[in-house]
Amino acid sequence: METAVEMRGITMAFGPNEVLKGIDLAIEPGKVTAMLGANGAGKSTLIKVLSGVYNGYGGTVIIDGAAVDIDHPTTARHHGIEAVHQKIADGIVPGLSVAENFLFEGIVNNHVSRAASLRSLMPKAREVASVLDLDWSDEVLRSDIYGVPIADQQLLLLARALVNEPRLLILDEPTSALSETEAERLFDVVRRLRDEGVAIFYISHRIGEIDDIADRLLVLRDGVIRSDYEPPFDWSDALHQMLDADEAERPQRTTELKGATEVLHLNDVQLLPKSIPFDLSIRTGEVTGVFGLLGSGGSQLARGIFGADPFETGEMKLKGEAYAPKAPADAIASEVYMVPEDRIAGTIIKDWTVSMISTFPFLGAVSNAGVLNPLAEARVGRSVIEGFNVVAQSEADPVMSLSGGNQQKVVVGRWLREQPTVMILNEPFQGVDVGARHELSEKAREVAAAGSAVVVMSTDLEEIMQVSDRVVVLADGNLRHDAYLSETSRDEILQRLSEVE
Amino acid sequence: MATTTTMNKPEMKPDQPGAKSRIDIRDLLVRYGFIAVTVIFFVYFLATIPAFRMSSTMFSMLKFTSVVAIAGLGVTVTMVVGGLDLSVGATAGMSVTVAAMTMVIYAQQGSVAIIAVIVAGAVIGAVNAIMIVWMKIPDLLATLASMFLIQGLKLVPVDGQSVSSGLILRDGTVAPGKFTPGFLEINRGSLGPVPYPVIIFAVLAVLTWFLLSRTKWGRVMYAIGSNPEAARLAGARVGRYKAFAYMLSGVYASIAGLILASRIGQGDISAGNSLLLDAVAVALVGTSVLGAAKPNAFGTALGAILIGILLTGTTMMNFQYYWQDVVKGLVLVVALIFSFTLSRRKQRFVAAVPL
């Protein structure tokens, strides 16, 4: 079998944390090899090893029968490996023209003079553009890069990667910023490259897309390749391999809460620009788990209910009355709370103590006529520490000195001192150790049992199985499934998730 | 010393003794270095300059400092919410013209002038707030624009002239009013030995300190300056707080302008020109006091006083005027070394515009 790039026993560790545990993979030319994997499976680490961003990996990369050491992006390029990374903004240079962006690699390496007039750059820029048959006019080439559509920026990056005629082209979530028609254009290009014999390594979370374009599907899990499929792909099995746990690792749950009272109703809510609006009912006395792959709309749902960002379209009713929060402050006034997915960016003020973080949303409760009462603040800090078993010496510890799990307990605990109406936890278990995950999960269930509506968003099926009573499955912003865990099964959940539209 | 600390807290990881004592010295420097520098210079001038020892010198020094200090307190408030008000100097300058116009051209009482000036300062703060909060213009750029606007527009109604009693108006008549004695009293009067400007400075410094470090509003303002998204997601109405900070800054600048107007006794059109940089400097110097590594009212007040001491001392030692800027620059550099180089705090205040 002919191979473009072969990996044997590739390992990569960051300190004690082993991310890649021995990847054996031969990528063939003239094929689109797709890879699917949950968060933390090791996809981006593998891409970075292959494209020379990380060195110090274990194992061998073989090209043309010889072992090569890819220790730098230029080495990767020299061996014909090019990567187009997920963030378009990382690849283009704002303030420069389209032509200059085409030639950026040359400008950096001083092959192309920056002082040269734009006119003199045109022929070279057109050479790069011609790799993809991009028939762009002089006017487009002269214009500022931010003036052209994002799909064209993506094509520009692709052309730039192709100018060196790579044997292996790595595309990391290439359609995440593109509309459907723009994505179609990109696929046409990918197919053409494949037919010309380029090996394409395609990383995506979008099942429909992979089904459409890939010739081979791999599932990466915990740093190893778990399974390998030929078309037509067995999606149900692939998603099991990607997300499902072995019998022994499954969390054991005995009780199921079933709420009776609808407290929040979503009416014709549309989460993503292309998705189909749906209705959803959130009930008190149960934990609703919202499950979906990355980018499937869970965050939009959480932020929409909390008033942090508006929905594309749709309305809500809280306790039967119109509810349209324009800002989180409005949601909080209605006792609707949210813990955001990015803990550091969304909740932490870096030099603050545990008690300052704890009291922040409800400063009125620890002040008199606006004047803060340090004793009351310390009391709240201590009650969060005690109520959530936070490992800290005292409430005056800087919050940044705590471990991730303990920080998370603080930012969850601060909302739960009184019974909320709706408590949304967006990816509450990310960067949280197993012990803290268990405790947070139990707390969420206690709060629901006491009469709140609790909603947990997660991309991890095990977390959903552990914490929720009812599961709502989202895919590309569409509602795929809504059932109590006792009335559904892992197979059905993954089946619904894997349906290709 | 290091070993006893370790024994008292067995649950903590023992530090290496050598490293521990070195870091202690650094912590001491960061916390008290700035205050020590102030005291050293103060004692030095006391010992070497006989005239410096007179209490009248002390109070005239504080009085002279008060204008910069008050404008600096306003800048501090905007820095706390993550911005920076560049229009304070222009606002103070405009206040001088507004006060002069009210009393000289419209022949109003001093109290009317005071109200007019403070209202004008609040209006400028509101305009800044509208540009920054609702029009989303970055703080530095918005207040730079308003600085130019104010500097130019204040000259329109007075035809670019300084307003003093006896001014010939456009219609050929002589301006009917003059700076009232009561208004001039703002700068000249005193309570016992303490001049009014020093009292105003002290009151505003204490109020600002109290607002920023003892009230829930101050807490929210610091949160907004440090992580606006986290503040918003915790329910803070970020826009309103920023608007409030800029309005407060405008009012403070106009109060500084009132003292300035009372000191000059006429509507000098160049008044307040050098105030902006001095005010920003004292607010920046203030970030280093007590190792705060963030803007704070106490630090700003102390920074203004240190610069006042140094300027008074060097002037009395017969240094030429141009050494004044050297002194200010040196103080700023030393303060920033305490704040940025020596401080181990991860979180420092963030500049209003990423450069």
The ipTM value here is 0.84
Mean pLDDT of chain B: 87
- Residue A329 and residue A256 in one domain: yes
Gap between the terminal Cα atoms of chain B: 44
B340 secondary structure, DSSP code: I
pLDDT confidence of residue B27:
78
Mean pLDDT of chain A: 89
pLDDT confidence of residue B145:
96
What are the pLDDT digits (tens) for B192-216? 989 999 999 999 999 999 999 999 9
- Residue A253 and residue A236 in one domain: no
Q: Where are the domains of chain B?
A: 32-342
pLDDT confidence of residue A89:
76
> Which residues of B are less than 8 Å from A371 in CB distance?
214-216
Which residue, A201, A156, A208, is CA-closest to A184? A208
| pLDDT category of residue B344 using cuts at 50, 70 and 90 | low
- Could B294 and A350 be called an inter-chain contact, meaning their C-beta atoms sit closer than 8 Å? no
pLDDT confidence of residue A133:
75
Mean of pLDDT values over B330-343: 80
pLDDT confidence of residue B5:
37
Residue A266 lies in a domain: yes
Residue of B nearest to A309 (CA): B233
Residue A121 lies in a domain: no
Rounded to a whole number of angstroms, the CA Rg of chain A reads 25
B20: left (phi over 0), alpha (psi -120 to 50) or beta: alpha
Mean of pLDDT values over A467-488: 94
- Could B232 and A327 be called an inter-chain contact, meaning their C-beta atoms sit closer than 8 Å? yes
Give the sign of the dihedral formed by CA A147, CA A150, CA A156, CA A160: positive
Interface size, chain A vs chain B, as Cβ–Cβ contacts under 8 Å: 69
Rounded to a whole number of angstroms, the CA Rg of chain B reads 22
pLDDT at A98 over 90: no
Cβ burial of A348 (10 Å; 0-12, 13-18, 19+) is buried
Residue A238 lies in a domain: yes
Chain B positions touching chain A (beta carbons under 8 Å): 11, 214-217, 219-220, 222-223, 226-227, 229-237, 293-294, 345-347
CATH number at residue A454: 3.40.50.300
- Residue A252 and residue A323 in one domain: yes
Q: Are B89 and B274 in contact (CB under 8 A)?
A: yes
- Residue A238 and residue A254 in one domain: no
| pLDDT category of residue A431 using cuts at 50, 70 and 90 | confident
- Could A329 and B215 be called an inter-chain contact, meaning their C-beta atoms sit closer than 8 Å? no
What are the pLDDT digits (tens) for A407-421? 999 999 999 988 999
State the CATH class of domain B32-342: mainly alpha
What are the pLDDT digits (tens) for B133-147? 999 999 999 999 999
d(CA A466, CA A117): 62
Considering A56-70, A87-101, B80-94, the range whose residues carry the highest mean pLDDT is: B80-94
- Could B233 and A400 be called an inter-chain contact, meaning their C-beta atoms sit closer than 8 Å? no
Polymer length in residues for chain A: 501
Residue A207 lies in a domain: yes
pLDDT at A176 over 90: no
Domain coverage including residue A19 = 5-80+164-243
pLDDT at B85 over 70: yes
What are the pLDDT digits (tens) for B100-120? 999 999 999 999 999 999 999
Residue A343 lies in a domain: no
pLDDT confidence of residue B251:
98
- Could B227 and A340 be called an inter-chain contact, meaning their C-beta atoms sit closer than 8 Å? no
pLDDT confidence of residue B23:
60
Q: Are B131 and B140 in contact (CB under 8 A)?
A: no
What are the pLDDT digits (tens) for A189-235? 899 999 999 999 999 888 888 999 999 999 999 899 999 999 999 98
d(CA B268, CA B100): 9
What are the pLDDT digits (tens) for A38-85? 877 888 889 999 999 888 899 999 998 899 999 988 899 899 999 988
Q: Are A50 and A83 in contact (CB under 8 A)?
A: yes
pLDDT at B346 over 70: no
Which residue, A140, A217, A154, is CA-closest to A190? A154
What are the pLDDT digits (tens) for B8-62? 333 333 344 444 455 677 778 778 888 888 889 889 999 998 888 888 888 999 9
- Residue A211 and residue A271 in one domain: no
Residue of B nearest to A398 (CA): B345
Nearest CB among A346, A350, A393 relative to B346 is that of A350
Polymer length in residues for chain B: 355
pLDDT at A270 over 60: yes
> What domain count does chain A have?
3
A476: left (phi over 0), alpha (psi -120 to 50) or beta: left
Mean of pLDDT values over A346-350: 91
Q: Of A418, A448, A463, which residue sits at a domain end? A: A418
- Residue A475 and residue A444 in one domain: yes
Q: How far is CA A153 from CA A19, A140, A186, A443, B228, in A?
A: 32, 12, 11, 46, 31
> Which residues of A are less than 8 Å from B231 in CB distance?
349
pLDDT confidence of residue B149:
96
Query: Could you give the percent of chain B with pLDDT greater than 70?
Result: 90
Q: Of A388, A418, A448, which residue sits at a domain end? A: A418
Burial B15-43 (b: 16+ CB within 10 A, else e): eeeeeeeeeeeeeebbbebbeebbeebbe
Query: Could you give the percent of chain B with pLDDT greater than 90?
Result: 58
Residue A236 lies in a domain: yes
d(CA A392, CA A125): 58
Q: Are B187 and B66 in contact (CB under 8 A)?
A: no
Q: Are A85 and A44 in contact (CB under 8 A)?
A: no
d(CA A367, CA A438): 34
Which residue, B89, B80, B115, is CA-closest to B211? B80
pLDDT confidence of residue B355:
29
Burial B146-155 (b: 16+ CB within 10 A, else e): bbeebbeebe
Residue A342 lies in a domain: no
- Residue A254 and residue A327 in one domain: yes
Q: Of A215, A243, A271, which residue sits at a domain end? A: A243
- Residue A424 and residue A447 in one domain: yes
What are the pLDDT digits (tens) for A447-457? 999 999 999 99
